[in-house]
Amino acid sequence: DAMVIQNPRYQVTQFGKPVTLSCSQTLNHNVMYWYQQKSSQAPKLLFHYYDKDFNNEADTPDNFQSRRPNTSFCFLDIRSPGLGDAAMYLCATSRRQGADTQYFGPGTRLTVL
Amino acid sequence: AQSVTQLGSHVSVSEGALVLLRCNYSSSVPPYLFWYVQYPNQGLQLLLKYTSAATLVKGINGFEAEFKKSETSFHLTKPSAHMSDAAEYFCAVSETNAGGTSYGKLTFGQGTILTVHP
């Protein structure tokens, strides 16, 4: 089945130790999104790629970076995780920008010790 | 910027009872509105979406929502709750510019946790 896959599902890192979260998709969608969802809060968009064009939200901390080496893969890099970065990170894809349906992966839960 | 407000962070119903989850939006242009469901430790799944076609939108699992411009509402309903409906539900709006073009950013409400009692 076509889907959005996130690895790992659970990630533990130490304060200040760089970490990379991975997202892949078999939907061949042009747009990929990264959302941060803290405990008991709504998901919040960090950034998205439309094809190779990177779009950063104005309030996304510089600590968060992203790479999209090809259509299928997108990575979220957290350069120096702080305790406040502990959250569920959700990857989503859509065929086009606009009001197209976004398809979400299962998420990666990040714990920072 | 557009926004949505979900009234009630927790809703509890009995199995077989009507489910009503409330969502109000704020937008100066016709909005694109969505309802997503999230089960524990999982991603979000689309239930239904409104994109300015029919005001009554039918979704998966027996859910539907009605867009009411006069009330700026997009409430989610299901006639008869099932135990498997217990989850967190998010209303979301797709940000649009003044011309009504969406660039894909979803802004979510705070979520409503639905509990279904036997």
Q: What average pLDDT does the segment A60-72 reach?
A: 95
Min Cα separation A98/chain B (Å): 4
Min Cα separation A17/chain B (Å): 24
Given this model, what pLDDT does residue A1 score?
Answer: 64
Q: What average pLDDT does the segment B46-59 reach?
A: 90
Residue A94 has pLDDT above 70, yes or no: yes
Residue A96 has pLDDT above 90, yes or no: no
Q: Tell me the pLDDT band of B31, cut-offs 50, 70 and 90.
A: confident
Given this model, what pLDDT does residue B98 score?
Answer: 64
Residue B83 has pLDDT above 90, yes or no: yes
Q: Does B94 touch chain A (CB under 8 A)?
A: yes
Residue A48 has pLDDT above 90, yes or no: yes
Single out the residue of B1, B5, B18, B4 nearest to residue B81, CA to CA.
Answer: B18
Residue B94 with chain A: CB contacts under 8 Å = 98-99
Given this model, what pLDDT does residue A2 score?
Answer: 62
Residue B46 has pLDDT above 80, yes or no: yes
3-state SS record for chain B: CCEEEEECCEEEEECCCCEEEEEEEECCCCCEEEEEEECCCCCEEEEEEECCCCCEEECHHHCEEEEECCCCEEEEEECCCCHHHCEEEEEEEEEECCCCCEEEEEEECCCEEEEEEC
Mutate to test the interface with B, among A36, A37, A41 (most CBs of B within 10 A): A37
Question: Would strands A10-13 and A108-112 be described as parallel, antiparallel, or unpaired?
Answer: parallel
Task: Please give the backbone phi and psi of residue B61, each rounded to the nearest 5 degrees, phi first.
Answer: 60, 25
Dump strand ranges (E) for A16-101. 19-25, 31-37, 44-50, 53-56, 64-67, 73-78, 87-94
Q: Does A7 touch chain B (CB under 8 A)?
A: no
Write the CA distances from B76 to B13, B18, B22, B48, integer angstroms: 14, 11, 6, 9
Mutate to test the interface with A, among B3, B4, B108 (most CBs of A within 10 A): B108
Task: Please give the backbone phi and psi of residue A84, each rounded to the nearest 5 degrees, phi first.
Answer: -75, -5
Given this model, what pLDDT does residue B96 score?
Answer: 73
Given this model, what pLDDT does residue B2 score?
Answer: 81
Q: Tell me the pLDDT band of B1, cut-offs 50, 70 and 90.
A: confident
Given this model, what pLDDT does residue B53 score?
Answer: 75
Q: What average pLDDT does the segment A68-77 reach?
A: 96
Average pLDDT of chain A is 93
A43/B103 CB distance under 8 A: no
* More confident call, B91 vs B40: B91
Nearest to B44 among A98, A104, A109 (CB): A104
B106/A45 CB distance under 8 A: yes
Coil/strand/helix, residue A33: strand
Residue B102 has pLDDT above 80, yes or no: no
Q: Tell me the pLDDT band of B94, cut-offs 50, 70 and 90.
A: confident
Residue A99 has pLDDT above 80, yes or no: no
